[in-house]
Amino acid sequence: MAKQYWLMKSEPHVFSLEDLKNAPNSTTHWDGVRNYQARNFMRDQMKIGDLVLYYHSNCDEIGVVGVAEVCKESYPDHTALDPDSHYFDPKSSQENQRWFMVDIKWEQAFKRTVTLQEMKATPELESMRVIQRGMRLSVQPVEKVHFDKVVEMGTA
DNA sequence: GCCAACGTTGGC
DNA sequence: GCCAACGTTGGC
């Protein structure tokens, strides 16, 4: 299958791109997703080698800050089974796993943040999901042309 | 901190 | 299966 492109949101005060870079092997498991659409993308479609726009939300400088790569395909999100976890879901169980995650690896940090504002103002990105009003999905597919454009803006 | 938009839950 | 109530997301 051809390489696919994604956008994943993270609150930088929880886990920033910098945190990803500094993690062991610059890799982390993307736990805590509790939305079915986002889960389905991770569980059913994400493949090793797919590239991810890393997006910072809920912060001073909102936007895409760099790129990560999918390095492990989906497997159960263990935090759903941990009663002490913020992400615990009593309806998930060992036998009937409800939530899944992938691993991603740091790939590059942009020279500068490609802000949401800027993306909204870029005609080529007009149909990008992330800039649509009320778009809350934290894992979403991105078209290659949009991916390339955002990378170009961030690295120019 | 506010609040609009959205997703989920649960009573009926 | 509808829909009101509630909780969450996330830009501002």
Residue at A59: amino acid letter: C
What's the DSSP call for residue A98?
Answer: -
* Tokens coding A135: 């778009």
Say yes or no to pLDDT of A149 above 80: yes
A132 touches strand C (CB under 7 A): no
φ and ψ of A155, to 5 deg: -110, -5
Tell me which residue of A7, A74, A70 sits closest to A40, measured CA to CA.
A74
Say yes or no to pLDDT of A55 above 90: yes
**pTM of the shown model:** 0.94
Rounded distance in angstroms from the CA atom of residue A114 to the C1' atom of nucleotide C3: 40
For residue A1, the model assigns a pLDDT of 74
pLDDT digits (tens, 9 = 90+) for A71-107: 999 999 999 999 889 899 988 888 889 999 999 999 9
pLDDT digits (tens, 9 = 90+) for A112-130: 999 999 999 999 999 999 9
Chain A residues 84-113, Cβ below 7 A from strand C? none
Report the length, in residues, of chain A: 156
For A129, half-sphere exposure in the C-beta direction (CA atoms, 13 angstrom radius) is: 18
pLDDT digits (tens, 9 = 90+) for A5-47: 999 999 999 999 999 999 999 999 999 999 999 999 999 999 9
For residue A90, the model assigns a pLDDT of 87
- The CA radius of gyration of chain A, in Å to the nearest whole number, is 15
Q: What architecture is the A5-148 domain classified under in CATH?
A: Roll (3.10)
Q: Parse chain A into domains and list their residue ranges.
A: 5-148
CA distance A1 to A11: 31
Q: Closest nucleotide to residue A36 (Cα to C1')? A: B7
Q: How far, rounded to the nearest angstrom, does the alpha carbon of residue A17 sit from its chain's CA centroid? A: 10
Count the Cβ atoms, other than its own, within 10 Å of residue A13: 10
Rounded distance in angstroms from the CA atom of residue A35 to the C1' atom of nucleotide B9: 14
* Residue with CA nearest C1' of nucleotide C10: A58
